[in-house]
């Protein structure tokens, strides 16, 4: 089995199993494409695609094979790039949650780019669940997230403490600094981040540990929208302290505490266990891991 076979197989998947379109993209004939897929299926003794009428549908075996194939092709492509450009490996693809992308990632990139101006750092800021899919599909190299992971294919290193805070309007239902019971808290009207975000995943997990499940009246991808709705007295919200610190200092919202509800969490740096970490990527990882422990001075000692 060759890299060419794997690239043909993955291109067919990426083009919705359309033989005509895939052949055009790869600049090969449809018979050559069919032969390559048939050779793969004969080699492994499984059907990578189910034939339904005149259409191809990726089989379960094909889905499982595709995940490994992407990483093999990625490793090969990275080897090719690094051999052709030994000193600078070109591009680092970083995925980030909204919290980290808003407050910390610009500083990480500014510090790193001042030392490596030739490296292009490309960023995606998205939900933690989507970042996990990007890591598994190898469309990003690393992810910085506070969300919970589900795949055993990923390695996560915790690197910074963080916390969520419960907020309400200064007019109530709770006073600033007040301690309330989980029972009273669970009866509130909740204004929460959307499902799949790291903040929402962490809050839902904390709520379940405390013995209840929140059913939000509002769901939003926008922290600003949730804060404004909270200020207006439309409900209570739970958000990262680092994103609402200004509103708290300006006393636009009140912070209250819920007994028995643990809202502490950790930021995580995540990458695929089979990912090839070239020197530039290793150095960027070290910068992130050390950044929060050095009072603004970047240290590059010893993760690898």
For the stretch 105-156, pLDDT in tens is 999 999 999 888 878 899 999 988 889 999 998 899 999 998 777 899 999 9
Given this chain, do its domains 91-159+266-291 and 161-264 carry the same CATH topology?
Answer: yes
Closest CA to 61 of 33, 40, 31, 39: 40
Please, what is the angle between helix 60-84 and helix 3-14, to 10°?
Answer: 120
Exposed/middle/buried for 304, CB within 10 Å: 0-12, 13-18, 19+? exposed
The tokens of 12 are what? Answer: 């067919």
What CATH homologous superfamily does 91-159+266-291 map to?
Answer: Periplasmic binding protein-like II (3.40.190.10)
State yes or no: pLDDT of 85 exceeds 80: no
Q: What CATH architecture does domain 3-67 belong to?
A: Orthogonal Bundle (1.10)
Break the chain into its structural domains and give their ranges. Answer: 3-67, 91-159+266-291, 161-264
161-264 CATH: 3.40.190.290
pLDDT tens per residue across span 21-46: 999 999 999 999 999 999 999 999 99
pLDDT tens per residue across span 225-259: 999 999 999 999 999 988 898 999 999 999 999 99
Look up the pTM and report it. 0.59
């Amino acid at each position: 089995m060759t890299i060419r076979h794997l690239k043909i197989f993955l291109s067919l998947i990426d083009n919705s199993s359309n033989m005509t379109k895939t052949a055009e993209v790869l600049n090969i004939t449809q018979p050559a494409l069919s032969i390559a897929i048939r050779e793969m299926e004969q080699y492994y003794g499984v059907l990578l695609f189910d034939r339904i009428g005149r259409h191809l549908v990726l089989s379960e075996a094909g889905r499982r094979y595709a995940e490994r194939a992407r990483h093999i092709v990625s490793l090969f492509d990275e080897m090719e790039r690094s051999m052709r450009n030994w000193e600078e490996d070109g591009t680092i693809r970083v995925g980030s949650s909204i919290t980290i992308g808003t407050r910390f990632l610009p500083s990480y990139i500014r510090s790193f780019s001042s030392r490596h101006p030739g490296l292009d750092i490309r960023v995606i800021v998205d939900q933690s669940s989507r970042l996990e899919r990007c890591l598994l599909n190898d469309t990003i190299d690393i992810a910085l997230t506070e969300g919970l992971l589900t795949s055993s294919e990923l390695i996560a290193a915790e690197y910074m403490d963080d916390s969520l805070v419960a907020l309400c309007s200064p007019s109530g239902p709770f006073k600033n600094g007040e301690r309330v019971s989980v029972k009273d808290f669970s009866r509130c009207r909740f204004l929460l981040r959307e499902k799949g975000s790291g903040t929402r995943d962490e809050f839902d997990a904390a709520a379940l540990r405390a013995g209840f499940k929140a059913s939000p009246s509002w769901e939003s991808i926008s922290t600003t929208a949730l804060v404004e709705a909270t200020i207006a007295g439309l409900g209570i919200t739970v958000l990262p302290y680092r994103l609402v610190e200004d509103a708290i200092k300006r006393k636009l919202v009140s912070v209250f505490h819920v007994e028995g509800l643990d809202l502490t969490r950790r930021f995580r740096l995540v990458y695929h266990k089979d990912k090839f970490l070239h020197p530039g990527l290793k150095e960027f990882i070290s910068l992130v891991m050390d950044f929060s422990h050095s009072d603004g001075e970047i240290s590059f000692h010893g993760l690898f």
